[in-house]
Structure 1
Amino acid sequence: MIDRAWRPQFIVIGAVKAATTWVQARLVENPAIFMPPPEPHYFSNEFARGEDWYRGFFEERPESAYVIGEKSADYLAHPLAARRIAATLPDVRLVLQLRDPVERAYSDYKMFYRRGTVKGPPEDYLATPDSPFPRFLQDGLYACHLSRWFDLFPRDQILVYLYEEVVADPAHIVDAVSHHIGVDPVHEAEPATRENSSRSAILPLPLRRALAPLKSSLRPLRGHPVFEGMRSLLAREVAYPPLTPALRARLRDFYARDVESLEAMSGLNLARWKSPTRNVPVA
């Protein structure tokens, strides 16, 4: 068992591209909460590194932070993460933010597109699970993934809410998550602030690749007026290949059975996910 003096008391387990960076940004505005800035991915891809490696993420916790957490959005869909966490942290509070799986898949594709990892249109990657990046579709099968967690944890340890609820009433979500993990909520910034938006202007890909070795050195300069001014001269919004109505309909059919199962399993109202008409902005 992990030493209770430093172990996480809560974990944001996903989903990938469901705006979990937003909820982490809001939680760490609370001085009672500490979360390491990077995602450890310990219980998914880095488990072989061992407990001492994982503990290193929490060494900079200030004394004022009496609630410790972490966010690794890939935990939800990882086949071993739930069992590993249940064996190591059986009492941990879990937070799960879900997004319309069609929009999540397209957002995941866009992240890889702006990185230059994928180059073709969405049809090349989202039309079938048998693609070079099966995670684009598979990570959105929430009922399939969540069933593993419900088998291992009491329902009251898992808070599940929707991306659409964040858009509609972000302050309410901050309150709900705070109470779930055992702290009084703090509202320091405008709750609707978007994090990691695909609409944000970014540097051209060749320049990003050239600067990649300097990423850690440049990080302290972020937010400085001179640095941000120079960046704004070069940054541009990415023009993504669109998700066509035909492919969107195909994706909705792909997820239909899983959405029905998730609705029955969780008690969430997922009517908006079943409708072809969307009013939620795509990130």
Structure 2
Amino acid sequence: MMTNDRLPHFVIIGAVKGATTWIHNQLQDNPAIYLPAPEPHFFSQDHHLGLDHYRRFFDGARPDQMLGEKSADYLAHPDAAERLAVALPKARLVVQVRNPVDRAYSDYKMLFRRGTVTRGPEHYLDGRPSGQPRFLEDGLYAKHLRRWLDHFNAEQIKVILFEDVKAAPEATVAIVSDHIGAPCHYSTQVGSDPRNDSSERFLPLPVRTALAPLKEAVRPLRGHAVFERVRGVFARQIAYPPLPPELRQRMVDYYARDIADLENLIGRDLGHWKQDHQLAA
């Protein structure tokens, strides 16, 4: 198969655990757009492999389709903005963010169910140095967005909120579609709500670890009645260590200055993020 010599017109750059999978799936359902299913992570993790490696992610696109990709770790990566600007200086960028406290706790829960972290959230989220600085650092959206604004014009970047998706999913798709210059296509099949992985049922960690090499092979079976019935026999909802109220308040304080900076950058009132209350994680 010949390698596609085109490069993406737009990129969804993050944030991790900001429900970017939902907007990716909405755009992927648009016949006018081609997005690869896996996140390329080219401008963050695999830049050393070269542009020919990156182009292979788009081999399946038709000539008439607009190319895009989503790699949620780009926003917080220290080198991704400069690298992407060199390769795609005209790219339209989409940033989707959520309450940084909820994002950090959701990120913690993802690594907890993977077995990467095993201690309670107070060990990682209280502001002291830990083995997982990404939990707190990735939620400093204004800090990261300013780095992207050093390399791209503000009009190239569209920032949407998790709350936008919850309150007006169809309108959010229309806003993003207009930003990237694609015809609007809203999929009711994808759904109106962003996916909440932490509420799902999972196989026990040792079973998931043993089956990890088969993940791609069984992916096409997901959703089939027999497969899901067998999986349901063994899957269980994970009991995550809770986020204590006093720790949540410390996190609210930790992010207060960055949230105020983000409000100025994007012209949105984010006062609801500054309140000490528990949102869906």
TM-score by length of 1: 0.94
Q: 1-side partners of 2:6 and 2:100: how far apart?
A: 34
Structure-1 residue corresponding to 2:208:
208
Which residue of structure 1 lines up, in the alignment, with residue 246 of structure 2? Answer: 246
Identical amino acids, percent of aligned pairs: 52
> Could you say which residue in structure 1 is the equivalent of 2:103?
104
Aligned residue identity for 2:53: W
* Alignment correspondent of 1:219: 219
Superposition map of 1:261-276 within 5 A: 261-276=261-276
Equivalent position of 1:141 in the other structure = 140
Distance 1:118 1:197 in 2: 17
Is 1:166 the counterpart of 2:165? The answer is yes
CA apart distance, 1:78? 0.6
1:185 equivalent in structure 2: 184
Shift, 1:129, TM fit: 4.5
Q: Deviations over 1:192-222 (max 9, x none)?
A: 2433521011111111011112112212222
8 Å contact kept, 2:96–2:160: yes
1:40 alignment partner AA: P
> What displacement does 1:63 show?
4.2
Task: Note closer, same or farther for the CA distance 1:262–1:231 as it changes in structure 2 (3 Å cut).
Answer: same
CA distance in 2, matches of 1:139, 1:223: 32
Per the TM alignment, residue 263 of structure 1 is displaced from its structure 2 partner at its CA by 0.8
Q: Unpaired segments of 5 or more residues in structure 1?
A: none
Please tell me the residue identity of whatever aligns with 2:68. G
RMSD: 1.5
CA contact (8 A) 1:21 1:196 kept: no
Question: 1:277 Cα shift?
Answer: 3.2
Query: 2 CA distance for matches of 1:158 and 1:241?
Result: 36
Q: 2-side partners of 1:170 and 1:122: how far apart?
A: 31
Structure 1 distance, partners of 2:29, 2:273, is 31
How many positions carry a matched residue from both structures? 278
- Which whole-Å deviations, capped at 9, do the CAs of 1:82-113 have from their partners, x for residues lacking one? 01111111100000001111000000000000
Distance 1:33 1:110 in 2: 32
Structure 1 segments of 4+ aligned residues over 2 angstroms from their partners: 193-196
Kept in 1: contact 2:165–2:194 (CA 8 A): no
TM-score after normalising by structure 2: 0.95
Q: Specify every segment of 5 or more residues in structure 2 that has no aligned partner in the other structure, as ranges.
A: none
Kept after mapping to 1: 8 A contact 2:10/2:92: yes
Task: Provide the C-alpha distance between the structure 1 equivalents of 2:213 and 2:201, rounded to a whole number of angstroms.
Answer: 21
The letter for the 2-side match of 1:167 is K
Contact 1:129 1:138 in 2 (8 A): no
Distance 1:187 1:51 in 2: 31
Deviation at 1:157, TM superposition (A): 0.6
Contact kept? 1:129, 1:137, Cα under 8 Å: no
